[in-house]
Amino acid sequence: MTIERSAFVLIPDSLAPPLLQLESRAIAALHRAEKLPPGDRTEAIRFESIHAVIDQVATAAMANGEPTVFSSSAVENNLRGTSVLHGELLDRRTMPEKVVDWMAAGKVVVELRIPHNPGATEVGGDPGHGPPPPAKRWISSGGDSAAAARERFEFLLSEALSNPQGGEGTIRPSDVSNKVLTECLRRNVEAHDGEQRVDLRVTYRDGSEGPRFPLRALRMNIAKPTGWRVLRFTLMSVRHVDMDLVVDGAWLRNSRVSRPRPAGLTDGIVFDTSLRQLQCLDASVPTLICMYQTGLEPAIVGFYRAVVRHLIENPQAVAVVPYYYQGEKDFAEGTIWRTS
């Protein structure tokens, strides 16, 4: 196995200005990337393509015989941003002496982390740890597919609740239907006598995790409140446009939520957005939210986590009635999320 080393390449003065221009474009792309929703890699890809040109220029300079210093110690550093060095020296870095001199002389240096140097490197992981064991077989007690899916999710959830610190102590919402997921979480959010609150991990099929979900955390009330302000939302926009006549708005923007990215990130985005929006509701007027929802598990988990957190801090500020999509303009009413 080869080892990594850093090659510090001195960029000739004639190439320094265009290379610094490239660097500033790369930095601008990184700044834009920070403003994008998590998981949106548009600007990250732009940053990488610009930086690839910087790397190519440095490689060509090295091939042309420009001074280059190799260092293994730089492997330890964990700097973010571009690998173009100029101006002031950065703190806490193990920099070869020659590179320090170059930079003191106002030169531009590019660091290339090259992985193909002869030598032996440790592979990651933990020898003897072994792979995760295969899943245990499970069979439903009968019923149709929906009933079996509900039973499976409830089984996994009860296993997780019985040993929240164990490896299986996690909610696995992937591929669970909208209704099963919401109703099952609703049942388990309720704290009965003697039960302690449990904040369970949430793990999606892609291995990503969302924030922990508080279960056994609230005393619930199943009565629908009267006299409260009523707001109707679809959970996500542009899913069922025929609902536009029925609702007051869409809680989440589909274009922001439905993106290819780790599901745990989507869950986090929905949770942050929902919590912020719930806090924006006028606390002096309790609000009943009628939520017309379709699938996308991370959106459902993220939204109801925000509802629970909000209810923990503001018990009577809000109540949510889920409505589950069953077909064109046909929604079934679910169990209300309201504290007693």
Partner 1 sequence: MLSAFLNERGLQMPQGLMEVYESPEARSLDALIYWPNRPDSSVNSLGWALRQLRESATPPPDNYLPLLPVDEMSIACFPCSALGASNDNGVVRWHLGIVNESFREGLLDIGVGEYIRSVAEELRARNGGLKRIATIANRYNADYVEKGSRPRGSALRPVQLACQNVIIGLAALRHDAGFDGLRVPIYLTCEAPHVATHEANRAMAALILCDAFQNGGTMEIRFGERGREDAVPPALRRFGRSVGKSLGMEGPCCISPQEARDLFLAVTPMPDELRDRCDDLFDRGVISPERLCFTIMSSIWSAIELDYIASTSSRIESILRGGTQADYRRHRLAELETCRAALMLGMLQRHIDNSDTAAQSDRGVRVFEDSVASASWSIRGDVGAAAIAGAPEGLLPWASQDREAAPLSEDGYLITVPRGLPTPSDHQLVLDVQSEHPEAVVALLVPADMVDTVPKEIPLMVCPDRIAALDTDIERRLDMLRVGRL
Considering only residues 207 to 236 of the shown chain, the ones binding partner 1 according to CB under 8 A are 207
Residue at token pair 């990488």: 48
Q: Is 123 in the site for partner 1 (CB under 8 A)?
A: yes
Of 119, 158, 248, 276, which lies in the binding site for partner 1, with binding defined by CB under 8 A?
119
In whole angstroms, give the CA distance from residue 228 to residue 286: 6
Is residue 59 a contact point for partner 1 (CB under 8 A)?
Answer: yes
Contacts of 258 (CB under 8 A, 6+ apart): 236, 296
Q: Which stretch binds partner 1 (CB under 8 A): 10-18, 95-103, 137-145, 326-334?
A: 137-145
- The reply to whether 309 sits near partner 1 by the rule CB under 8 A is no
205 binds partner 1 (CB under 8 A): yes
* Structure-token pair, residue 301: 């988990």
The burial of 314, by beta-carbon neighbours within 10 Å (0-12 exposed, 13-18 middle, 19 or more buried), is given as middle
Please identify, using beta-carbon distances, which residue of 261 and 338 lies nearer to partner 1: 261
Provide the terminal-to-terminal Cα distance of the chain, rounded to the nearest Å: 62
Quick count: other Cβ atoms within 10 Å of Cβ 21?
10
Cα 19 to Cα 22: distance, rounded to the nearest angstrom: 5
Q: Could you give phi then psi for residue 208, rounded to 5 degrees?
A: -80, 155
129 near partner 1, judged by CB under 8 A: yes
Q: Which of 12, 28, 71, 77 binds partner 1 (CB under 8 A)?
A: 77
Interface residue with partner 1 among 21, 79, 94, 219 (CB under 8 A) is 79
C-alpha torsion sign, points 280, 283, 285, 286? positive
Is residue 194 involved in binding partner 1 (CB under 8 A)? no
Give least dist CB 330 to partner 1, A: 20
Q: How many CB atoms lie within 10 A of CB 255?
A: 11
- The one segment of 143-151, 239-247, 304-312, 322-330 that binds partner 1 by CB under 8 A: 143-151
325 binds partner 1, rule: CB under 8 A: no
Smallest gap from residue 35 Cβ to partner 1 (A)? 13
333 part of the interface to partner 1, by CB under 8 A: no
Residue closer to partner 1 (CB basis): 261 or 305: 261
